[in-house]
């Protein structure tokens, strides 16, 4: 028997949100699983921004926010946060998925909306709860997997492979249970970038940018070869039948290099970079080692009182990337360059929670929270970008550092007002500050002043259990999302691309509401949700071109509104046969209501335009046939409409590097139990070979397979 590592938080805290989930059994039988985050990709209104196998920047798109909003959703593993709230972007903001192995997952649940006082304002997009498992007897597994992507774009054609090896061991001895896992993944990626130029050198391919400017394609870059190793361990000790202590540790490394492929040729036919510095941006080496620790003490009495304390620490032991400064004649690179480091960055969190059940009518939960997020991000000049020490020649090219800290207290009561009626009401008080901020660019440095804010966020949900099958809910929640330390202080310089911080950002305020009705039976779910979210001072990142340099800045947009409808249908044993069907359709009307501070170079205003990165339509369809007790066949469709990525919606050219295209992707999965202990999984993602961009070129047809043995 395998037990969950801890009772589900949704049950322990009587959380009121609309939710959807997936069990370990369904993950195993329906998903082409390479990385932990793959388990999410068919959940309602969820889109996983995963560019390649082993992507460290896999962020989650939720019902009301797009792929660049990593700090507008939360991911927890057994109540321990793995969201990288150090940033709100697609680079360092991706959740630390590697800290939980696919074999450890018991189930995953998504909670929609900021309607529970237990979570900070980052829950506005949703909360993802990963529940792990612990063994009751000795068990061991070994899984060998692989994948092969066939990619074709411009003059880049090839097959890019992935190999994964995963081993787990676990046991229970008396009151002590333990579970360890080790994963190694090596992958080659399709190009993540294309090098463009306004000129037309020999060999270039005529093309436009997403805004219609000339952007002829000179070559491909970001062709990565990366190797990741992850070791995780969990210890659980049942002090009593109702009190458990847990310790979790994770160690993750990432090593790799990236190359470029030029399409340009000299008059004599020799390959050349043509003096285009963009090639140097996609040529780099990288290395990282991160360490995660979690300690928890929790009760599960099912009586009058329950409680828990969770403490976490996440440390960037080292994390660097080396780039050449530019290109020379032919395909030579400058010996000098830059080394960007994140070593010393990380976060610490502490949460204490309690639940009081004084009588059958009330379930009161309350708690306190503390977190601290630290940024340490120097970029050093170096005379030898490939082999020098990680501090280069000791000279800063740029430097960003600072700290944010939040203390919070919250309480809520799930009150059974009348038979069938439950009112869950509560609030969260938060005290936030940012300090120690400092920025340096070249020889100009500036210390940033301490800033702070304090806010109270009320929440309320009224649920009516109409009968044993039907339930209706009306929810309201206010949420405050404070700027991340990277939005305030991080300077990123990569070739001709600069990301500039804004130390004057105000927190964004969200007013969110949802009305839903759901019918649930033992083998089916039908739900309709109407939702609206109004955000004031929305923190939005925007890229502009200034003097031939791409500059990304964060700004407060005065008012935006996202409202829409979500319909979910799930049915097991369809037509009385061993067929399972699930379908979710989401429509969102996203609008910028006011942004008087923005005027484009052409005089275009932002008011009335679509909110960047939020698609109007999404649809996920999955059909599984349990053909025999040992064979499962699954087909899935994922659809998303095209999105704008600029505030004034001027990016109207699609299917080019930098665009955000719509896509329709079909996936197939076959699971076959060869024996009781040996399982074969094979499948194809993007079987229709759709070619699309979400800024980066995304994976085309990819074959996936694994063989797993259990002992």
What are the tens digits of pLDDT across the range 693-710? 999 999 999 999 999 999
Mean pLDDT for the chain overall: 93
Element (H, E) at 485: helix 485-489
State how far the Cα of 60 lies from the Cα of 130, in Å rounded to an integer.
Answer: 14
Q: How confident is the model at residue 552 (pLDDT cuts 50, 70, 90)?
A: confident
Q: What is the pLDDT of residue 5?
A: 57
- What is the residue range of 678's domain? 2-710
Contact 262, 277 (CB under 8 A): no
Q: Check which CATH number belongs to the domain holding 344 and give it.
A: 2.40.170.20
Closest CA to 115 of 620, 506, 529: 529
Question: Beta partners for 402?
Answer: 375
Contact 23, 107 (CB under 8 A): yes
- 73: tokens are 């959703």
- What 3-state class would DSSP assign to 503? coil
- 86: tokens are 């150090």
Q: What is the pLDDT of residue 500?
A: 81
Q: What is the pLDDT of residue 495?
A: 47
Q: How confident is the model at residue 546 (pLDDT cuts 50, 70, 90)?
A: low
Share above pLDDT 70 across residues of the chain, in percent, rounded to a whole number: 96
- What 3-state class would DSSP assign to 226? strand
Convert the pLDDT of each residue in 629-659 to its tens digit: 999 999 999 999 999 999 999 999 999 999 9
- 122: tokens are 């980052």
Q: What is the pLDDT of residue 13?
A: 65
State how far the Cα of 2 lies from the Cα of 107, in Å rounded to an integer.
Answer: 12
Please provide the DSSP assignment of 23-72 as one string: EHHHHHHH---SSGGGGGTTSTT-EEE--STT-TT-EEE-SS--TT-GGG
State how far the Cα of 381 lies from the Cα of 183, in Å rounded to an integer.
Answer: 35
C-alpha dist (Å) from residue 399 to 318, 380, 390, 394, 441:
16, 9, 14, 12, 7
Q: Is the model's pLDDT at 24 over the cut of 80?
A: yes
Closest CA to 396 of 360, 361, 438, 431: 438
- The pLDDT of 580-591, averaged and rounded, is 97
Angle at 589 between CA 585 and CA 594, to 5 degrees: 155
Element (H, E) at 487: helix 485-489
Closest CA to 262 of 275, 278, 248, 273: 273
- 601: tokens are 């170079």
Closest CA to 641 of 205, 66, 227: 66
Contact 513, 553 (CB under 8 A): no
- The pLDDT of 41-60, averaged and rounded, is 94
Q: What is the pLDDT of residue 699?
A: 97
Element (H, E) at 307: strand 305-324
Q: What is the pLDDT of residue 14?
A: 78
- The pLDDT of 277-289, averaged and rounded, is 95
Q: How confident is the model at residue 443 (pLDDT cuts 50, 70, 90)?
A: confident
Instruction: Measure the N-to-C terminal CA separation of the chain; round to a whole number of Å.
Output: 14
Instruction: Report which DSSP code applies to 651.
Output: -
State how far the Cα of 32 lies from the Cα of 42, in Å rounded to an integer.
Answer: 11
Element (H, E) at 257: strand 243-262
Convert the pLDDT of each residue in 236-264 to its tens digit: 999 999 999 999 999 999 999 999 999 99
Dihedral in degrees, nearest 10, Cα atoms 650, 653, 659, 665: 130
Q: Is the model's pLDDT at 332 over the cut of 80?
A: yes
- Provide the CA 565 distance to its chain's centre, in angstroms: 23
Q: Is the model's pLDDT at 157 over the cut of 50?
A: yes
State how far the Cα of 269 lies from the Cα of 202, in Å rounded to an integer.
Answer: 10
Q: Is the model's pLDDT at 597 over the cut of 60?
A: yes
Count of beta carbons in the 10 Å neighbourhood of residue 173 = 9
State how far the Cα of 598 lies from the Cα of 612, in Å rounded to an integer.
Answer: 14
Query: What region, left, alpha or beta, does residue 61 occupy, with left being phi > 0 and alpha being psi -120 to 50 degrees?
Result: beta
State how far the Cα of 472 lies from the Cα of 305, in Å rounded to an integer.
Answer: 29
Q: What is the pLDDT of residue 596?
A: 87
Question: Beta partners for 359?
Answer: 362
Instruction: Report which DSSP code applies to 645.
Output: -
Q: What is the pLDDT of residue 12?
A: 60
Count of beta carbons in the 10 Å neighbourhood of residue 450 = 11
Q: What is the pLDDT of residue 91?
A: 85
Share above pLDDT 90 across residues of the chain, in percent, rounded to a whole number: 88
- 534: tokens are 């109004």
* Residue spans of beta strands (DSSP E) within 627-662: 631-640
When computed from its CA atoms, the radius of gyration of the chain, rounded to whole angstroms, is 25
State how far the Cα of 380 lies from the Cα of 391, in Å rounded to an integer.
Answer: 6
- 552: tokens are 């990304």
Q: What is the pLDDT of residue 603?
A: 76
Number of domains in the chain: 1
Q: Phi first, then psi: what are they for 75, rounded to 5°?
A: -125, 130
- 12: tokens are 């322990």
- 370: tokens are 């503390």
Convert the pLDDT of each residue in 617-631 to its tens digit: 999 999 999 999 999
Contact 540, 647 (CB under 8 A): yes
Count of beta carbons in the 10 Å neighbourhood of residue 358 = 10
Q: What is the pLDDT of residue 285?
A: 97
CB-hemisphere CA count at 13 Å for 260?
30
State how far the Cα of 344 lies from the Cα of 207, in Å rounded to an integer.
Answer: 42
Q: What is the pLDDT of residue 338?
A: 95
């Amino acid at each position: 028997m395998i037990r969950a590592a801890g009772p589900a938080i949704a049950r322990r805290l009587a959380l009121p949100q609309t939710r959807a989930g997936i069990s370990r059994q369904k993950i195993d039988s329906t998903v082409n699983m390479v990385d932990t985050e793959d388990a999410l990709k068919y959940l309602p209104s969820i889109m996983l921004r995963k560019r390649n196998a082993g992507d460290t920047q896999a962020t989650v798109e939720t019902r009301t926010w797009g792929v660049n909003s990593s700090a507008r959703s939360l991911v927890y593993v057994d109540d321990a946060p793995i969201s990288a709230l150090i940033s709100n972007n697609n680079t360092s903001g991706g959740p630390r998925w590697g800290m939980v192995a696919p074999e450890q997952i018991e189930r995953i649940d998504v909670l929609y909306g900021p309607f529970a006082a237990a979570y900070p304002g980052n829950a506005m997009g949703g909360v993802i709860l990963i529940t792990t498992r612990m063994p009751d007897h000795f068990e061991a597994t070994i899984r060998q997997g692989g994948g092969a992507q066939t990619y074709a774009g411009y003059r880049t054609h090839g097959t890019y492979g992935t190999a994964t090896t995963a081993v787990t061991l676990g046991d229970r001895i008396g009151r002590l249970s333990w579970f360890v896992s080790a994963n190694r993944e090596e992958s080659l990626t399709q190009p993540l970038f294309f090098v463009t130029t306004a000129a037309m050198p020999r060999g270039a391919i005529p093309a436009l940018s997403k805004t219609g400017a000339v952007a002829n394609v000179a070559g491909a870059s970001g062709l990565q070869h990366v190797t990741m190793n992850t070791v995780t361990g969990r210890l659980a000790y049942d002090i009593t039948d109702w009190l458990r202590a847990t310790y979790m540790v994770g160690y993750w490394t990432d090593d790799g290099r990236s190359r470029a492929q030029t399409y340009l040729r000299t008059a004599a036919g020799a390959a050349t970079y043509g003096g285009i510095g963009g090639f140097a941006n996609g040529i780099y080496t990288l290395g990282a080692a991160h360490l995660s620790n979690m300690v928890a003490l929790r009760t599960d009495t099912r009586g009058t009182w329950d409680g828990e304390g969770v403490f976490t620490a996440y440390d960037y032991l080292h994390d660097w990337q080396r780039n050449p400064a530019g290109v020379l004649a032919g395909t030579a690179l400058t010996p000098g360059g830059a080394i960007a480091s994140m070593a010393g960055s990380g976060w610490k969190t502490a949460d204490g929670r309690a639940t009081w059940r004084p009588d059958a009518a009330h379930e009161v939960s309350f708690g306190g929270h503390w977190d601290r997020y630290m940024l340490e991000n120097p970029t050093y000049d170096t005379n030898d970008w490939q082999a020098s020490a990680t501090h280069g020649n000791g000279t800063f090219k740029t430097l960003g550092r600072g700290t944010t800290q939040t203390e919070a207290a919250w309480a809520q009561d799930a009150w059974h007002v009348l038979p069938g009626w439950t009112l869950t009401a509560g609030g969260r008080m938060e005290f936030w500050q940012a300090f120690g901020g400092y920025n340096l660019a070249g020889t100009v440095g500036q210390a940033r002043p301490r800033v702070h804010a304090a806010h109270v966020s009320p929440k309320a949900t009224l649920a009516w259990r109409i009968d044993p099958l039907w339930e209706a809910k009306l929810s309201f929640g206010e949420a405050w999302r404070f700027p991340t330390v990277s939005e305030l202080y991080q300077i990123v310089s990569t070739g001709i691309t600069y990301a500039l911080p804004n130390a004057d950002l105000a927190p964004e305020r969200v007013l969110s509401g949802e009305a839903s009705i759901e019918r649930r039976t033992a083998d089916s779910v039908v739900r309709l949700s109407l939702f609206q979210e109004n955000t004031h001072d929305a923190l939005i990142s925007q890229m502009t071109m200034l003097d031939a340099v791409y500059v990304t800045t964060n700004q407060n947009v005065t008012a935006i509104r996202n409202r829409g409808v979500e319909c979910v249908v799930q049915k097991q044993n369809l037509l009385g046969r061993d067929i399972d069907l699930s379908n979710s359709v989401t429509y969102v009307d996203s609008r910028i209501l006011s942004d008087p501070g923005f005027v484009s170079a052409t005089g275009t205003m932002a008011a009335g335009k679509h909110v960047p990165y939020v698609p109007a339509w999404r649809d996920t369809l999955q059909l599984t046939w349990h053909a025999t007790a040992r064979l499962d066949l699954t087909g899935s469709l994922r659809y998303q409409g095209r999105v704008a990525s600029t505030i004034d919606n001027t990016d109207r050219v699609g299917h080019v590097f930098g665009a955000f295209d719509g896509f329709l992707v079909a996936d197939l999965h076959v699971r076959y139990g060869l024996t009781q202990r040996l399982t074969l999984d094979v499948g194809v993602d993007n079987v229709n070979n759709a070619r699309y961009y979400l800024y980066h070129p995304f994976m085309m047809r990819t074959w996936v397979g694994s063989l797993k043995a259990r002992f």
